[in-house]
Amino acid sequence: MLLRERVSDHAYIFRSNLYAQVNAGLITTNDGCVLVDTLPFPQETAEIQRFVRERLHSEVRYIILTHSHADHVYGAFLFPRAEVVGHLLSRELMIKHTRPALTEARKKNAVLANVFLRLPTLLTEDEAAIRIGGTTLNLRHSPGHSPDVLTVYFKDEKLLFASDTIMPIPFFANGNIDDLRRSLRAILEIPRLEDVVQGHGPVLLRGEVKDVLAEQLDYLNQVEAHVEQVLANHGGKAELNALSTEDCGIPPTVLDGLVLKLHLANMATLYAKRRKQLQKAAA
């Protein structure tokens, strides 16, 4: 059974229990609903579909796909009447990467047999707004986790859907550590912000947001410093992987144990990038 949580007067989150605690958000208005991301498997997103139809007696008017990664976009096909919103880069990345990956995933997992991608048709680059039922949602480009991430700020209820810009462990292996650092700092500057829905894991409540963001920035700094030290000492994989998640203040059980895989990918990506930069400078 999918976890459902009411996080404000007009917003719910639905959390996957099948993959990495992915969150989808639902904003309700008198003129229909806005869905912020979907869930990885169609049977989970179908629960959101039933909730909107049977409990709210409403429909999804817009789907905001915060970025192109499969675990956030696969369920959009279940809402054929909704307009799909996304970043310009997200559409490109879905065509280039997500669609071929779905073709391969269907061969391995029968529950994905009927899934097809709905590409964003309402596109933004830096900032945009959606006005529906007297409610304004502000969309902002927030790269770092990947180049195409959008956050969604529900100003009336001081609620931010941060997508994967904020996760229980920062993850930039498909993006850029410097961009992610800037995006996290930009969230700190949002006035009147209270609660934050992470892309994965529990909702951050008023009073803990600033502390969590400080911890996330500290994690990025620790990883960067460690990689630089390993390179300076001409170390290899063993030395690189010596920095544990616990050294960085993150328990190994986070995200059902997926945290270690993400952490190692972060370090390997940054190591390869910085090593290449050093080799190029020395050539």
CATH of the domain at 125: 3.60.15.10
Asked, for residue 214, whether it belongs to a domain, the answer is: no
Contact 85, 124 (CB under 8 A): yes
Non-local CB neighbours of 190 within 8 Å, separated by 6+ positions: 153, 160
Q: Are residues 133 and 235 in the same domain?
A: no
Strand-pairing partners, residue 109, are none
Task: Tell me: do 27 and 128 sit in the same domain.
Answer: yes
Query: Is residue 59, in this structure, part of any structural domain at all?
Result: yes
Q: Which of 206, 234, 265 is the last residue of a domain?
A: 206
- Tokens 């073709």 identify what position? 103
| Whether residue 233 sits in one domain with residue 108 | no
23 domain residue, yes or no: yes
Helices (H), 117-241: 177-188, 209-232, 237-240
Give the model's pLDDT for residue 195: 98
Specify whether 100 is located in the same domain as 239. no
Query: Which residues are CB-neighbours of 244 under 8 A, at least 6 positions away?
Result: 252, 263
My answer on whether 137 and 80 are in the same domain is yes
Domain that holds residue 47: 3-206
User: Is 184 in contact with 149 (CB distance < 8 Å)?
Assistant: no
Is the pTM value of this prediction over 0.85? yes
Contact 222, 266 (CB under 8 A): no
Specify the 3-state DSSP secondary structure of 97: helix
Please give the tally of structural domains in the chain: 2
Average pLDDT, the chain: 97
In a domain, 196, yes or no: yes
Q: What is the pLDDT at residue 283?
A: 80
Please indicate, yes or no, whether residues 197 and 244 belong to a single structural domain of this protein. no
Where a domain ends, among 156, 172, 206?
Answer: 206
Per-residue model confidence as pLDDT tens digits over 95-150: 999 999 999 999 999 999 999 999 999 999 999 999 999 999 999 999 999 999 99
Last residue of a domain, one of 160, 181, 206: 206
User: In Å, how far are 218, 262, 269 from 224, measured between CA atoms?
Assistant: 10, 15, 11
Which run of H or E residues covers position 100?
helix 99-108
Q: Would you say residue 116 lies in a domain? A: yes
Closest C-alpha among 37, 86, 84, 80 to residue 59:
80
Q: Does one domain contain both 59 and 183?
A: yes
Per-residue pLDDT at 114: 97
Q: Within this chain, do residues 55 and 188 fall inside the same structural domain, yes or no? A: yes
* Pair (59, 159) in one structural domain: yes
Quick one: pLDDT band at residue 237, thresholds 50, 70, 90? very high
177: its two tokens: 């550590």
pLDDT of residue 276: 95
Q: Would you say residue 101 lies in a domain?
A: yes
Q: Would you say residue 137 lies in a domain?
A: yes
The pLDDT score that the predictor gives to residue 107 is: 95
Is the residue at 215 inside a domain? no
Length of the chain (residues): 283
Q: Specify whether 171 is located in the same domain as 255.
A: no
| Section 22-28 average pLDDT | 98
Do 238 and 149 share a domain, yes or no?
no
Statement to judge: residues 271 and 175 lie in one domain: no
**Distance of alpha carbon 29 from alpha carbon 7, whole angstroms:** 15
Between strands 83-87 and 122-124, the pairing is parallel
